[in-house]
Structure 1
Amino acid sequence: MDIESIEALRGALDEGVPLGRLRLQGLDLTDDAALLTGRDVEGLVVLGGRLPMPLARYLTRHGAVVLPPAPHAPVDPYRGHVYTPDELYAGLTEHGYGATPDARAYAWSRSASLRHDAYVAVLRATHDVAMEDALDGVLRGHPVVGVMGGHALRRDDSAYAEAAGLAHRLARHGLVVATGGGPGAMEAANLGALAPDEPALTDALRRLGAVPSFVPDIGAWAALGLEVRADLLARRPADAPQTCSVGIPTWFYGHEPPNVFCDHVAKFFSNAVREDGLLSRSTAGIVVLRGAAGTVQEVFQAVTPRYYADDDSELSPLVLVGVEHWTVTMPVWPALRALAADRRMASALHLVDSLAEAAQIVSAHHLGR
């Protein structure tokens, strides 16, 4: 049982849960050492947080596992919750992008002196496991549609506005929009899901065009995004869902900063863990917009479980948008059709030119379940 607050720890103790079943994540036990002192703590695992020295000695001498904090890491590897855009971009206005937790985490992950450090590798892996658990907590019970697409799409491109409109329609049908959490088409989808209505989305698109790309200035791109996001949140009705979209980016692609329009950001050090987590959680279907190598990789990762699905599995739709792009520019569609021949997954594959048609396919599947 993961325990992420003192209140949750008190509750578990009141219910008589054996301490050996608990995993304490990032708790400040400075003033609450008495909760654990004198108890049977064998098997208890304490991940980071703050412990008074007498308590730390008691725990280790009586069979608990205590993993100390990592003060030199730019992120808490034991954190029990996902990120917010404001958290990742903290300090942006005062000190520039390079000083933000997001930029510092990327530098830490790519440092030549740390790349083969076994301890740092354990911290990064621990962080990603904790992030997966936190993401599961956010998405549990929600139907999720993945929207995939390239990072190079500019904010002032008509295709950006179309992608935002697609996600806006999907979110209004009760679906949580999940993206790779980066710029371009991913940002457009998170923006569309966040916008409370079409006039708000239109206004946001107009304003964002003033800084159309994160190249060459990530700071200006993110700062404008944060301003627009704050205004959209202020216009969100009190009874609106608080989880319209999530972003699932990775520090592996350091040149792709996270966009700020997600309600929640689950950022990973491992791109492999991130890719699998994004696709496997898109239970209501996947819409693939125009993209290049990274998007092509996601297409085939999404196809594999559909290809090997057994007869009892429900196959959610995989919709590729852009007939010419996916048959000529990036000829993925012929390969998909060849794989799908005489298999159940053929009915789950769709190639369309219209984003409205893509939204209709996914929404009809969701509403018909």
Structure 2
Amino acid sequence: MSEMLTAAVTLADLGPAVSVFGSARLPSDSPYCKMSYELSHKLAKAGLAVIAGGGPGIMEAANRGAYDAGGTSIGLNIKLPAEQTDNGYQTTALQFEYFYGRKATFFMHSCAYVALPGGFGTVDELFEALTLIQTGKLPKGPVYLVGSEFWCGMVDWIREQMLPLGMITPDHMDLFTIEDNLDTIVAQIVSYAKTHTETSHRKSSLPRS
């Protein structure tokens, strides 16, 4: 609760922000890291804050892209026995010991979500965002899967297995978009941010100290 309160107070006046999810394990010269950097650079230039996990790999590329663009680069750093080392490209760095508070902070302060390739943690974050939107706990903001070659197999499985069994409805397939054109993503998120006011509803109602 203390971690969530600190995050809520720190980010209370953040404004429109985009959460970028992705693997900590990919090297900086990975094509996916380069996509993360370029996308976040474009988002920051468009006036949007970027929220990433604060670690290496795709997370570092996202923070660095926003940082190099002179924008707001938020890092939600988590203490782990391996993998996670805080990157140095954060204009605001928050420290978490618990995943619950960290994930809640992503969703409280984002108007859109971008998932680049990643492992269990990335998929967890992606599906939590989709679940919260599906159940009306979050406004229906844009959710993009970047890296079509990586994501298409999973989406095919959802369409071939979950959908025919009625575990999801056809409308739920519209909650996310596979898109590799970064300019298209930025333009659509900027348009959404300009025409919706949900970001004000995401600001935490926790009492301020």
* TM-score band, normalised by shorter chain: 0.7 to 0.9
Query: Alpha-carbon deviation of 1:334?
Result: 4.2
Candidates 293, 304, 317, aligned match of 2:142: 317
8 Å CA contact 1:170–1:359 kept in 2: the answer is yes
Deviations 1:263-309 (A, max 9, x none): 11111111222123223322x10011111211111111111111111
| Alignment partner of 1:132 is 2:4 | yes
Candidates 263, 275, 293, aligned match of 2:103: 275
Q: Look up the equivalent residue of 1:306 and give its one-letter code.
A: I
8 Å CA contact 1:249–1:266 kept in 2: the answer is yes
Candidates 258, 271, 293, aligned match of 2:120: 293
Aligned to 1:162: 35
Partners of 2:102 and 2:140 lie apart in 1 by 22
Aligned to 2:204: none
- Aligned length in residues: 190
Deviations 1:93-119 (A, max 9, x none): xxxxxxxxxxxxxxxxxxxxxxxxxxx
Partners of 2:146 and 2:54 lie apart in 1 by 19
Query: Alpha-carbon deviation of 1:347?
Result: 4.0
Q: Look up the equivalent residue of 1:176 and give its one-letter code.
A: A
What's the TM-score once normalised by structure 1's chain length? 0.47
Candidates 343, 354, 357, aligned match of 2:181: 354
Percent identity of paired positions between Structure 1 and Structure 2: 27
8 Å CA contact 1:163–1:355 kept in 2: the answer is no
Partners of 2:168 and 2:32 lie apart in 1 by 29
**RMSD, aligned CA:** 2.3
Q: Look up the equivalent residue of 1:299 and give its one-letter code.
A: L
Partners of 2:176 and 2:46 lie apart in 1 by 21
Aligned to 1:335: 158
Q: Residue 176 and residue 314 in structure 1: after superposition, are their counterparts in 2 closer, same or farther (change >3 A)?
A: same
Partners of 1:251 and 1:368 lie apart in 2 by 37
What's the TM-score once normalised by structure 2's chain length? 0.80
Q: Give SS of 2:89's match.
A: coil
Greater relative CO (CA pairs within 8 A, separation 6+): 2
Q: Residue 287 and residue 333 in structure 1: after superposition, are their counterparts in 2 closer, same or farther (change >3 A)?
A: farther
| Alignment partner of 1:307 is 2:180 | no
Query: Alpha-carbon deviation of 1:188?
Result: 0.4
8 Å CA contact 1:296–1:332 kept in 2: the answer is no
Q: Look up the equivalent residue of 1:266 and give its one-letter code.
A: L
Q: Look up the equivalent residue of 2:32 and give its one-letter code.
A: A
8 Å CA contact 2:3–2:101 kept in 1: the answer is no
Q: Give SS of 1:247's match.
A: strand
Query: Alpha-carbon deviation of 1:358?
Result: 2.4
8 Å CA contact 2:20–2:116 kept in 1: the answer is yes
Which structure would you say has the larger Rg?
Answer: 1
Q: Which aligned runs of 4 or more in structure 1 are off by greater than 6 angstroms? A: none
| Alignment partner of 1:188 is 2:61 | yes
Q: Residue 340 and residue 316 in structure 1: after superposition, are their counterparts in 2 closer, same or farther (change >3 A)?
A: farther
Partners of 1:146 and 1:354 lie apart in 2 by 17
Match runs of 1:15-164 below 5 Å: 129-141=1-13, 142-164=15-37
Partners of 1:333 and 1:301 lie apart in 2 by 19
Aligned to 2:79: 251
Q: Residue 359 and residue 139 in structure 1: after superposition, are their counterparts in 2 closer, same or farther (change >3 A)?
A: same
Deviations 1:289-334 (A, max 9, x none): 1112111111111111111118xx7311111112221122xx1464
Q: Residue 253 and residue 346 in structure 1: after superposition, are their counterparts in 2 closer, same or farther (change >3 A)?
A: farther
Partners of 2:144 and 2:102 lie apart in 1 by 21
Partners of 1:162 and 1:353 lie apart in 2 by 9
Q: Give SS of 2:95's match.
A: coil
